[in-house]
Amino acid sequence: MGMIERIEEISESAQEAVASADDLSSLEAVRVQFLGRKAELTGILRGIAELEADQRGKVGGLANEVRQQTEELISSRSAELEAAELELSLVADSIDVTLPGSPAAPVGHLHPVTRTRRMIEDVMVGLGYRVVEGPEVELDYYNFTALNHPPDHPARMLQDTFYIEPSPATTGGDRGPRDVLLRTHTSPMQVRAMEASPPPLFIIVPGKTYRRDSDATHSPMFHQVEGLAVGEGVTLADLKGTLLAMLREIFGPDREIRMRPHFFPFTEPSVEFDVSCFRCGGSGSLDGGDRCGLCKAIGWIELGGAGMVDPNVFSFVSDAGYDPDLVSGFAFGFGIERIAMLRHGIGDLRLMFDNDLRMLEQFS
């Protein structure tokens, strides 16, 4: 076979090989095969000088033409393949930003105590009360003394109250080791709020409180809401109406309340208040005749303490305009966890603070 025919054959098979290369790496292999240093055509071109003089022109011309043609074919095929590969990767990598995340990120929700606190706040703000908060690290003066607790009151005992030993640097050295404590109730804010603003005063005080107590219904840290209303002519009937309005919002429009005589140092008279049971409707027994477990068949659920502000408490804030001859007031206080536990049927207070998602996710 003559040189010319061989070069034509090479040209044909190069064309076929280029056309059938279906990705960039096989095209590169084709380039090496036909145009690389060891390729047959490269060898022919290198050997032109040794050919007979009359062959050189023809063979050299054709070989160069085929080489150039093949280069062009390869580069246009390469452009085609590159475009196709880009197209493919664009399709494969495309992101539809309108699709939900995968997996959809779970949205958190508020803790049952927070939800209950906000619900109480909403009801009371609707009745015209202001929400205020006070310090959790409190002075004995506000927690006990100004709330008319005598120096030897049992709540002041170490068994009941967490005391903080203040450093002389923060107190100027003028406070004894039992003058600073973790507040045992939200009531100290009654006095602080009265010091800060003259009557009339309508506030609620939600917040954390602390006692040295721990069992299924007591936790060393828990939450209370305090209420205080002071103005001219405020009566125990106003207290009852306010509690009734609040508890009907929380437990349903058919609820009733009752107040039982009690004692608190800072109210006179003092009461404990109960709400009629929202499970049995107050009858103590369920539809099928079974005894109601929620109220223990009593028909009433105990919620908190309340009463008329003791004139002795007003005497601590007389400078701020609280004269027991001119104004009167009522106060109440109750636990937030207890409300949440009742509403959701939670049996153990400690579950509230274990942060076990299996428990918390039930109340989203």
Instruction: Report 309-338 residues binding ligand DAH (CB under 6 A).
Output: 331-333
- For ligand DAH (CB under 6 A), the number of binding residues is 12
- Bridge-based pairing state of the strands 130-131 and 201-210: parallel
206 contributes a contact to ligand DAH by CB under 6 A: no
Can you tell me the distance from the alpha carbon of 265 to that of 153, in angstroms, rounded to the nearest whole number?
Answer: 9
Nearer to ligand DAH, 77 or 183 (CB): 183
The contact mask relative to ligand DAH for 130-169 (x = CB under 6 A, - = no) is ----------------------------------------
Single residue of 148, 219, 267, 328 touching ligand DAH by CB under 6 A: 267
Contact 23, 84 (CB under 8 A): no
Minimum CB separation from ligand DAH for residue 143, in Å? 10
Does position 222 interact with ligand DAH (CB under 6 A)? The reply is no
Strands (E) across the chain are located at: 130-131, 137-139, 163-164, 180-182, 201-210, 221-231, 257-264, 267-276, 300-309, 328-335
Bridge partner residues of 183 (DSSP): none
d(CA 247, CA 241): 10
Considering only residues 170 to 189 of the shown chain, the ones binding ligand DAH according to CB under 6 A are: 185, 187
Cβ distance to ligand DAH smaller for residue 11 or 190: 190
Nearer to ligand DAH, 70 or 143 (CB): 143
Residue 257 within binding range of ligand DAH, rule CB under 6 A:
no
Q: In whole angstroms, give the CA distance from residue 121 to residue 274.
A: 20
| DSSP annotation string for 52-91 | -HHHHHHHHHHHHHHHHHHHHHHHHHHHHHHHHHHHHHHH
11 part of the interface to ligand DAH, by CB under 6 A: no
User: Which residues of this chain interact with ligand DAH, rule CB under 6 A?
Assistant: 185, 187, 226, 264, 267, 304-307, 331-333
